[in-house]
Amino acid sequence: MTRQNWIPHPKLHADPPESFYTSSEGQEVGTVRVSVIIPAFNAEATIEWAIASACRQTERKLELIVVDDASCDQTSAIVAEAAKSDTRIRLLRQPANAGPAAARNRGIAAARGEWIALLDADDSYLPDRLAKLLDLADGVGADMVADNILLCDAGNQMAGIAMIPSAQLSRPVELTTAEFIARNVGAPRTPRLSYGFLKPLLRASFLREKRITYDERNRFAEDFMLYVRCLTNGARWWLLPDAMYCYVVRPGSLTEQQSSHDLMRIRQMESDLLADPKVARDPAVVKAIHRHKKVVDRCYYYRAFTDAVKGRDVRCAASLLIDSRRSAQLIAQEMTRQMPTILGKALRGGYHSHG
């Protein structure tokens, strides 16, 4: 990333108003253009900022649905208090913690807007984000539309760095299925450059017509899986170069939620796509899926193998080594990649129980 991609972070550069929320009482009730969905779990430290950034949007015809995923803190109380000042805010409570995919599905099912906007409970929008994305969507007839992302350090949110360099995204472009999948294969020097981090607006009627929902079993890469399903079902996705979504980067967030079961479901989805005649007719998509699946396979075998070793399940570990012609090689490759992290944790005592 070059210095030209540095952008001031709005959280610390915005003047805090007397109240974060503008009452919508007395305003003419019309069509809800955007339903902003925020899944929240134990988010009392950040949820107020996330809500404020949505309520400050220059696009006023919106509703904000916060789905509290059975939090143990004051998240629900904070949202309920905010809703007293702005009737556009709705609070839904999950009876038990079911993960962000289930929370998003519930929010989408309750949404009344023409468009679904995604917002995580520790992230935020720049004020004109929704208006600019809607302008682009209306102009090109998109089913999905997203902007660049500001990657913001959780420990120092003074500024954000645009995830996609300007040389790669200098003007609005239509994103193909092949390019989206290919752009999810990270590189050692740019581990955060992944199009799976994008937070598009989704046309609600498209999701309903195609019956597309989040896979609630996955707590990792659930966005990637949903976006691929949209694209392979014919969605037109456009990208805007402006970086207007502030994504807070937290240490370990790329790997901590991975499980072998999550990775297995991604592998199965991609195997199903390769068997789909519609997909098979596009050589670029097939090539991108094979490349992405190779990375997922490597991560899956390594994760499943290390889980078996830690659980002292010798039979399972041995079976994984011979599960396919390349499984042992893939485990060795990922082990080599992970070795610096493994050694670092061991030296810091990271593998000891701290009670």
Listed residue (306, 209, 200, 196) closest to 253, CA to CA: 196
At the top level of CATH, the class of 3-249 is alpha beta
**What's the angle, vertex CA 67, arms to CA 65 and CA 71, rounded to 5?**
145
Percent of the chain surpassing pLDDT 90:
71
Give the lowest-confidence range in 10-19, 109-118, 281-290.
10-19
Give me the pLDDT at residue 186, please.
64
**Is it the case that residue 55 has pLDDT exceeding 80?**
yes
Give me the pLDDT at residue 249, please.
84
- Report, as an integer, the average pLDDT of 178-200: 83
Residue that wins the pLDDT comparison between 45 and 22: 45
**Is it the case that residue 258 has pLDDT exceeding 90?**
no
Give me the pLDDT at residue 255, please.
43
**Is it the case that residue 354 has pLDDT exceeding 60?**
no
Give me the pLDDT at residue 5, please.
45
- Is residue 339 very low, low, confident or very high in pLDDT (cuts 50, 70, 90)? confident
- Is residue 22 very low, low, confident or very high in pLDDT (cuts 50, 70, 90)? very low
The CA distance from 226 to 101, in Å, is 10
The CA distance from 322 to 315, in Å, is 11
Digit-coded pLDDT (tens) for 296-329: 999 999 999 999 999 999 999 999 999 988 889 9
Listed residue (266, 262, 254, 261) closest to 229, CA to CA: 266
Contact 334, 299 (CB under 8 A): yes
- Burial (Cβ within 10 Å: 0-12, 13-18, ≥19) of residue 117: buried
Digit-coded pLDDT (tens) for 164-185: 999 999 999 999 999 999 999 7
Rounded to 5, what percent of the chain is helix, strand, coil?
Answer: 45, 20, 40
Summary mean pLDDT of the chain = 86
Judged by DSSP in three states, 167 sits in coil
Digit-coded pLDDT (tens) for 70-101: 999 999 999 999 999 999 999 999 999 999 99
Residue pointed to by tokens 């500024």: 159
- Is residue 193 very low, low, confident or very high in pLDDT (cuts 50, 70, 90)? confident
Digit-coded pLDDT (tens) for 132-165: 999 999 999 999 999 999 998 876 555 689 999 9
Contact 305, 320 (CB under 8 A): yes
Give me the pLDDT at residue 169, please.
94
Q: Which amino acid is at 191?
A: P
- Report, as an integer, the average pLDDT of 4-18: 41
Give me the pLDDT at residue 239, please.
97
The CA distance from 117 to 112, in Å, is 12
Give me the pLDDT at residue 138, please.
96
Residue that wins the pLDDT comparison between 259 and 348: 259
**Is it the case that residue 202 has pLDDT exceeding 50?**
yes
The CA distance from 9 to 260, in Å, is 36
Give me the pLDDT at residue 31, please.
87
Give me the pLDDT at residue 156, please.
56
- Report, as an integer, the average pLDDT of 269-292: 94
Give me the pLDDT at residue 335, please.
86
Tokens linked to 207: 């999701």
DSSP 196: G
Give the lowest-confidence range in 15-29, 293-307, 328-342.
15-29
Q: So where are the chain's domains?
A: 3-249, 260-347
Give me the pLDDT at residue 25, please.
47
